[in-house]
Amino acid sequence: MKKHNFSAGPCILPQEVFKEASQAVLDFNNSGLSILEISHRSKDFVDVMEEARSLALELLGLEGKGYKALFLQGGASTQFLMTAYNLLQTKAGYLNTGAWSDKALKEAKFFGEIVEVASSKDSNFNFIPKGFDIPNDLDYLHLTSNNTIYGTQLKEFPSANAPLVCDMSSDIFSRQLDFSKFSIIYAGAQKNMGPAGATLVIIKEDILGKIERQIPSILDYQVHISKGSMFNTPPVYSVYVSMLTMRWLKKLGGIAAIEELNEKKSKLIYSEIDLNPLFQGFATKEDRSNMNATFTLVNEDLKETFDTMWKEAEINGINGHRSIGGYRASMYNAMTLESVATLVDVMGDLERKA
């Protein structure tokens, strides 16, 4: 029996993607070779890379608008470094809303002055700061759209007199936005796209080439663009599964269709958190993430009972991050409404037994 997988990442992927990807491990495109052993320079994989990059721009509504899509390595953590290396000449702004934006900020300090425009760190990142001032002389403003650990999500994005750079690792392709507002979007694959190993980077080309420092080739966006994401050996399997996942999303009806499902899932679990007296949410209500619902037991004496109940229901991966404890239900695009309902039923059963 397939478990209800609420893991924060690596995480759930669509079953039809698993099936097609598993067949490709044995024989890719009837080539007699596995996807794990084909040359990344072969036509079969070049076609995969081109389709993956094209699908990313299509789903985000950025085709023909001066953007390039790249699949790189090193996760979002390498993008903390690359964005600053390629864009930061004198000063950049960072909105600090969680552990990952905090790390991004620290990496950028190697390249110039960093302005922390606002932070919720003093409240253990349980809300998104609002109404803050943004300096007019920034090289860029960096945001993190969704915070997996704390279960918060930006619902509105600030306007700035600077390019917007956004880490969308944990909510890419999950909701409709005007993606043309952003100059760089980056996202690790292991939440809504595919297995760990690939990082999608969307770049508006005209923001590049404006800094004076020399950039090592492997960290230079312009090099990767010129080589079509093939400057070094790409993570073939991760790119392939990401392509399959984007195909699946397009077939469903794209981001508009999946956003509707994601709203239903989040409403279902947050309603239970708010109505069930045994639980309380961690994040401020107006900033709650549709991807990661964080909550705790009001009475920790019930923890052993609750843990036994959700495990018996074949639920996996809802333990909260060690920094805040409690529970975290990650509901990425491939999570079904039925799986969320299963968790909600267990929470309701606990109330009836208590």
**Active-site residue 167, yes or no?**
yes
Q: Could you tell me which of 178, 186, 141 has the C-alpha nearest to residue 160?
A: 141
Bridge partners for 325 per DSSP: none
User: Across all residues in the chain, what is the average pLDDT?
Assistant: 97
Angstrom distance (rounded) from CA 87 to CA 53: 22
Across the chain, which distance is largest between two alpha carbons, in Å?
66
**Active-site residue 311, yes or no?**
no
Tell me the whole-structure pTM to 2 decimals: 0.97
Angstrom distance (rounded) from CA 63 to CA 50: 13
Degrees, nearest 5: CA angle 336-314-196: 60
Q: What is the pLDDT of residues 140-170, one digit of tens each?
A: 999 999 999 999 999 999 999 999 999 999 9
Q: What is the pLDDT of residues 296-309, one digit of tens each?
A: 999 999 999 999 99
Answer for the pair 73, 187: CB distance below 8 angstroms, yes or no: no
What are the residue ranges spanned by the domains of the chain? 15-252, 255-353
* Lowest mean pLDDT across 1-5, 64-68, 70-74: 1-5
Contacts of 218 (CB under 8 A, 6+ apart): 231, 232
Degrees, nearest 5: CA angle 350-353-354: 85
- Counting residues of the chain whose pLDDT is more than 70, the rounded percentage is 100
Q: What is the pLDDT of residues 50-70, one digit of tens each?
A: 999 999 999 999 999 999 999
As its CATH architecture, domain 255-353 has Alpha-Beta Complex (3.90)
pLDDT at 215 over 80: yes
Degrees, nearest 5: CA angle 228-216-143: 75
Q: What is the pLDDT of residues 80-118, one digit of tens each?
A: 999 999 999 999 999 999 999 999 999 999 999 999 999
Q: What is the pLDDT of residues 226-282, one digit of tens each?
A: 999 999 999 999 999 999 999 999 999 999 999 999 999 999 999 999 999 999 999
Bridge partners for 330 per DSSP: 292
The reported pLDDT for the residue numbered 354 is 82
- Phi, psi of 264, deg, nearest 5: -65, -45
Assess if CATH 3.40.228.10 describes domain 15-252.
no
Q: Show the tokens assigned to 236.
A: 């073939």
**Active-site residue 121, yes or no?**
no
The reported pLDDT for the residue numbered 220 is 98
As a whole number, mean pLDDT of residues 192-219 equals 96
pLDDT at 1 over 80: no
Angstrom distance (rounded) from CA 3 to CA 148: 21
Catalytic residue among 68, 139, 171, 191: 191
The reported pLDDT for the residue numbered 59 is 98
- Counting residues of the chain whose pLDDT is more than 90, the rounded percentage is 98
The reported pLDDT for the residue numbered 150 is 97
Q: Show the tokens assigned to 331.
A: 């509901």
The reported pLDDT for the residue numbered 2 is 83
Catalytic residue among 139, 167, 171, 220: 167
